């Protein structure tokens, strides 16, 4: 459906997370979005032939923030010139568009109004959060953005060798049972298929921040349709598919090590050394857009930026903290470390 203004009243049409459809902001008329729920992955080598300028069906424009350097893609009918990352009005148009067109998208499920209420509810449970901040939340500036991600899948074949330490029992010369350990070498092969290894491809958000708001439900991935972008912006990817593949393989390496080590670890066994050599084949990827809210606000003359998962409401980032709460917690831990019983520590902290 290629509409940007309501044919009934002429109002602006935007994607509505609560309706999972386009909606007129004036008369509230709903327009369904036609998009499949199956995204086909491509061979990683295909990306090399797909780089360079590729118009997103004539629907997008590219901007760069002169303040923080972020590259953002907006629907060409959007008039916003505010950067979603640093909340400054410093976007300038450029001729550069992402070389790859998205294959799929996870649509927003939380509206901007719901995001503000969800933020207020969730920050109350954050550790060391300032009570003054919770009781009187400042004005929140929300930026709704789809962040670029690469979704990888591949087959792995690993050859490994290691040393396993095993605890055994025996009867000594005095007739008593005693335990002893032996080290036993082991070797083997392992095959495993990886699917949906997600790597964020924008350096404007750290992996630590992303981890704070995971997981996403990738069963809700839909085929890319520019209608989902109406009323929202897109964070331009700035890492190559090949670089993303290396990060995905590093994640797979850690998982394989843990899986193999776990097979040789038990109540009386543990792995003391392990070497794993892995070959990856049938390497495929898809380019996905995932929903994030950037939440900017000022508290006690200090600027803060938090992020929210636009699908489930998980919140991450740095929050205004209470120095008193941190100090009391430090004292609490210190008393426990020196060996004072927990009941006494609690009584002291509560003034009993």
> Which pLDDT does position 343 carry in this prediction?
56
- The 3 state secondary structure assigned to 222-241 is EECCHHHHCCCEEECCCCCH
> Which pLDDT does position 352 carry in this prediction?
42
pLDDT digits (tens, 9 = 90+) for 256-298: 999 999 999 998 999 999 999 999 999 999 999 999 999 999 9
pLDDT digits (tens, 9 = 90+) for 134-193: 888 899 989 888 888 899 999 999 999 999 999 998 888 888 899 899 999 999 999 999
**SS3 of residue 323 by DSSP:** helix
Report which secondary-structure segment, H or E, holds 115: helix 112-123
Say which DSSP state 56 is in: S
> Which pLDDT does position 158 carry in this prediction?
98
Q: Which residues contact 15 (CB under 8 A, 6 or more apart)?
A: 21, 22, 23, 33, 107, 108, 227, 228, 229, 230, 231, 232
Distance, CA of 295 to CA of 118 (rounded, Å) = 12
Where are the domains positioned within the chain?
Answer: 1-34, 36-321, 323-352
pTM over 0.85: no
pLDDT-flagged residues of the chain (< 70): 1-2, 47-62, 66-69, 71, 73-99, 203-204, 322-352
CB atoms within 10 A of CB 6: 19
């Amino acid at each position: 459906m290629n509409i940007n203004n309501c044919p009934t009243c002429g109002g602006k049409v935007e994607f509505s997370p609560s309706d999972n459809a386009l909606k007129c902001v004036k008369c509230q008329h709903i327009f369904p979005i036609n998009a499949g729920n199956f995204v086909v992955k491509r061979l990683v080598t295909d990306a090399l032939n797909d780089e360079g300028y590729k118009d997103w069906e004539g629907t997008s424009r590219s901007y760069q923030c002169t303040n923080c350097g972020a590259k953002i893609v907006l629907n060409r009918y959007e008039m916003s010139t505010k950067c979603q990352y640093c909340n400054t009005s410093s976007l300038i148009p450029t001729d550069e568009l992402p070389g790859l067109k998205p294959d799929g998208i996870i649509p927003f499920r939380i509206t901007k109004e719901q995001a503000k209420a969800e933020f207020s509810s969730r920050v109350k449970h954050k550790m060391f959060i300032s009570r003054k901040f919770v009781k009187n939340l400042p004005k929140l500036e929300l930026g709704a953005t789809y962040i670029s991600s690469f979704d990888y899948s591949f087959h792995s074949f690993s050859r490994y060798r290691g040393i396993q330490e095993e605890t055994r029992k025996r009867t000594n010369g005095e007739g008593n049972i005693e335990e002893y350990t032996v080290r036993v070498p082991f070797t083997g092969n392992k095959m495993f298929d990886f699917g949906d290894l997600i790597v964020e491809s924008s350096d404007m958000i750290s992996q630590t921040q992303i981890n704070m708001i995971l997981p996403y439900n990738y069963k809700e991935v839909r085929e890319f349709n520019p209608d989902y972008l109406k009323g929202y912006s897109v964070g331009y990817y700035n890492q190559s598919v090949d670089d993303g593949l290396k990060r995905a393989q590093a994640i797979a390496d850690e998982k394989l090590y843990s899986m193999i080590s776990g097979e040789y670890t038990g109540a009386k066994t543990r792995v003391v050394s392990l070497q794993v050599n892995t070959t990856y084949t049938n390497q495929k990827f898809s380019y996905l857009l995932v929903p994030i809210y950037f939440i900017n606000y000022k508290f006690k003359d200090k600027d803060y930026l938090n992020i929210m998962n636009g699908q489930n409401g998980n919140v991450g980032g740095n929050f205004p903290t209470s120095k008193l709460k941190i100090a009391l917690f430090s004292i609490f831990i210190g008393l426990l470390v020196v060996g004072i019983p927990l009941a006494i520590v609690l009584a002291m902290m509560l003034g009993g």
